[in-house]
A and B are shown apart, each in its own frame.
Chain A
Amino acid sequence: MKNRIREIALDGTIRQNPTFRLVLGTCPTLAVTTTAFNSLGMGLAVTFVLICSNVIISLLRNVIPDRVRIPCFIVIIATFVTIVRMFMEAYIPDLYESLGVFLSLIVVNCIILGRAESYASHNPVGYSALDGLFMGLGFTVSITVMGIIRELLGSASLFGLKLWDANAFSIPFFTNAAGAFLTYGLLIAIFNVCYNAVDRKIKHNQHGKMLQSVETQTTAKEAE
């Protein structure tokens, strides 16, 4: 069980990172990452919806007929998105206005529907909740990193705090759509280069260990 939780955590945050590995949810990734605060807000909203929808879908996985599963998933997801919208409008109006239409568009976010379809509808509640949590975390961290980079370079601030005079140094390009694409592309490249390097090293180590154990076994057999 511990291993499974570890696998879910690694899948959600690194191996199947929705932003940098699966390239899902690109619309909010490009649109709302002008500031780190917006990115964090969007990430947390998506995480909440992911966890809640995964839990409910997992609970109802044996009840929902296969032929109406997608409409059911959408209704459930839309419900949680609406709840998030209502909550944000009531308690975090600034963030609500900043995210604008992209908050409502969480309904059609591929990550949420993808996880509902591929994971929550086939797995127990606990694991589905964890999958939602770690997928959401992976998404949140990814877009927050992107938001931090764009806000720093484009507006000379971080989470709304002015770090230096923007007129002295700032690259407004990064606050534009083209800057979002460039940042996103570079981060995907960096993430995958690092991931592949680590993955190769792990596999190399595993292969070495395997060879060593085979050699040990062979030596032991020969000694016998």
Chain B
Amino acid sequence: MSGETVHAAPASSVSEKAVPGWFGLVPAITLAVLFLIPFAIMLSVSVAHRVPGGFFEPGFEWTSYERLLSPFFGRILYTSVAISAGAAAICIALAFPFTIFLAGMRHRVQTLVLVALLAVLSLSEVIIGFSISTLLSRTAGIGNLFAAIGLIDGPRSYTPGLFALMTGLCYLVFPYAVLVLYPPVSRLDPELRDAARMMGAGPLRTFFTVTVPLMRAPVLGASILVFVFTLGAFLLPQVLGRPNHWTLSVHITDQAIFQSNLPFAAAMAIVLLLVALLLVGLTLLLGRESGGRR
């Protein structure tokens, strides 16, 4: 790293000379210390010895990982994947046409919609959980509305339950999904669709023979990213779901904060991290392949 500062950079590009080499050093050290080291510590904590009632003491034991091999944990993992995959699928199915329509709107309309999406995106799970649980509650929710227009007999609550949880997760990731799909969709040359129309394809046919094949890689990438994102939801399953909907992330929080079992929480986090890294890596690979074809 320090070599960078001493070497006179070859005059290969002008931008190279525009920034001194030590500029890279400051963020490199900061991020290494504050982002990489925490993960290293987490790795060591995951094999540390748990001190009941306290935090942990250094050690090397597989106890925490062995607990992960239990059927109980297997069910948690299955629940997490099933719920996240379901939410991601619903979300992408809604977000893909939304993004396509959005990209075809006038610049001004796009700006307004993006502001709305960013505002929703910035809401944390806490606020979303609170808002959705209120929306679906008995005293303040849409149950009142349905009852008022005679759809159901009396006000009722839709939370907690799988429906509430799925609604919340979709709400959480929808803006994210649109914003991930937005760059590739808006860069899609509109003349390609015009061309298909001129050659006799109707709107649906155009969508399935031109838009979908061209967007296959970005949509798959977005699905994976959204999946990872929902996998990380730690609060909505607690607020909107029943205990049997608790995902891995909920259990990590629970173990870390309320059970004070940091080694077990760390071990679960490492597993989640590996799953996430694997999937994100896959996304990057997909992106490169589709990029190389151009």
Q: Do A and B bind each other?
A: no
Q: B residues bordering A, Cβ < 8 Å?
A: none
Q: A residues bordering B, Cβ < 8 Å?
A: none
